[in-house]
Amino acid sequence: MSAPLHLAVALDGAGWHPAAWREPDARPTDLFTADYWAHLVREAEAGLVDLVTIEDAIGLQSDDFDAQDDRVDRVRGRLDAVLIAARVAPLTRHVGLVPTATVTHTEPFHVSKAIATLDYVSSGRGGVRVQVSGKAHEAAHFGRRTIPPFRYQDVLALNAGQAPELATLFSDLFDEAADYVEVLRRLWDSWEDDAEIRDAATGRFVDRDKLHYVDFAGRFFRVKGPSITPRPPQGQPPVAALAHATIPYRLAARSADVVFVTPSDVGAARAILAEVRAEQSAAGRGSETLHVFADVVVFLDESPRAAADRAARLDDRAGETFTSDALVFTGTPSGLADLLQEWHAAGISGFRLRPATVPHDLTAITRGLVPELQRRDLFRRGYEAPTLRGLLGLPRPANRYAEATS
């Protein structure tokens, strides 16, 4: 397999359809239990996927783009994604664990420590999906800054090259996120790999000369360091980001190892890929691996009609037709394999599949799609590396501070 196809599963509550929690096989009373999440992640691991992402935010879920709604027929509330990942890590052996962490309003020192800890408790399978918060009601949770409210139509205008004030706001938020990731990486490097001596005979636990101040001073952060957690097993856990337009593509190109994108068809996939690669080259990272995963919401059944009927039934329960920022695929695992194969041939290196309902669409991925991809020699038949970086074909990075002092 010269160019392996990578697979990720995006986990969010009972599934990505708002009526998923009302399905007969759903477990709405268990959504806030460790067993629920362990069961989902183990199922994903049984399907040999590279990684799972776990959704999170600093505001309640809402059907309104720019405010919190008052609906009571939707799942509302989440557990902390990083803590979920840390809880299920010892219960799994191979799958990568990539929780979402909001990088607006929060502090990089705390997140760096949390993700380093996740990497330790998972024996090198941790990562993080960085997420920007640009909503006024989320800023109000912290009270340290004010973000002006804006509407979905404003974002459409921004993507069309209009709304200059919003463009400035978004550019600032994503520049801040880029600095945040830089601080994360520097803090992960602030301990050299052999800084811990642990020599009981001499009484030396640590070599203090191998701990380094990061002394980061930027527009948004001033962080001295070093971290209080030793360098993670992977050196630097992989960083991922979801991107829909040029400004977030630029963040991913500057700072990420994996970018999740949302093309509507193979032509859009090629165009997005070209833009991401151009931004990557402009950032001076043209020789580095940056995986581009396409996001797809999936309704999977034994026949296209059964999948369409189930989607329609869910829409009836929700009171509206389901839409998404990503392509919504309704059909069979074989039909989905056709789409993934076409997009993969166009240069997309992997896919992040969002199950419309769990467990139904999750098991359709692991027990239907994966065997079909294996029959086509497009997907692994066993885990070939012990770390997430290894699964993604990313080398373990050298420590910048060890290089500077060697």
Contacts of 395 (CB under 8 A, 6+ apart): 389
The DSSP result for 20-89, as a single string, is: GGGSTT--GGGTTSHHHHHHHHHHHHHTT-SEEEE---SS---SSSSS----SSS------HHHHHHHHG
Q: What 3-state DSSP class applies to 120?
A: helix
What tokens appear for 61 in the block?
């879920």
As for how many domains the chain has, the answer is 1
**Residue 406 pLDDT:** 46
Q: What sign does the CA torsion over 264, 265, 268, 269 have?
A: positive
Residue 278 falls inside a structural domain: yes
Q: Which amino acid is at 54?
A: I
Residue 108's pLDDT is 97
Sequence letter at residue 33: T
Compute the chain's Rg from CA coordinates: 21
Q: What is the pLDDT of residue 1?
A: 44
Residue 38, both tokens: 């362990």
Could you tell me the CA-to-CA distances from 157 to 161, 166, 245, 285 in Å, in that order?
A: 7, 9, 12, 30
Return all residues near 33 (Cβ < 8 A) that are at least 6 apart. Answer: none
Specify if 180 maps to a domain. yes
DSSP-assigned states of every residue in 362-405: HHHIIIIIHHHHHHTT-S-SS---SSHHHHTTPPPPPPHHHHHH
Q: CB atoms < 10 A from the CB of 209, how many?
A: 9
- DSSP code at position 240: E
pLDDT of residue 161: 73
CA distance 249 to 58: 22
- The reported pLDDT for the residue numbered 158 is 72
Answer yes or no: is 1 within a domain.
no
CATH of the domain at 278: 3.20.20.30
Residue 205 falls inside a structural domain:
yes
Helix axes 266-282, 246-255, angle to 10 degrees: 50
E strands in 159-303: 196-199, 204-206, 216-217, 222-223, 239-242, 258-261, 291-300
Distance CA 9, CA 78 (A): 18
List for the chain the helix, strand, coil content (%; round to 5): 40, 15, 45
Low-confidence stretches of the chain (pLDDT < 50) are: 1, 406
Show the domain range for 136: 6-405
Render 320-371 in DSSP notation, one character per residue.
S----SSEEEEE-HHHHHHHHHHHHHTT--EEEEEESSTTHHHHHIIIIIHH
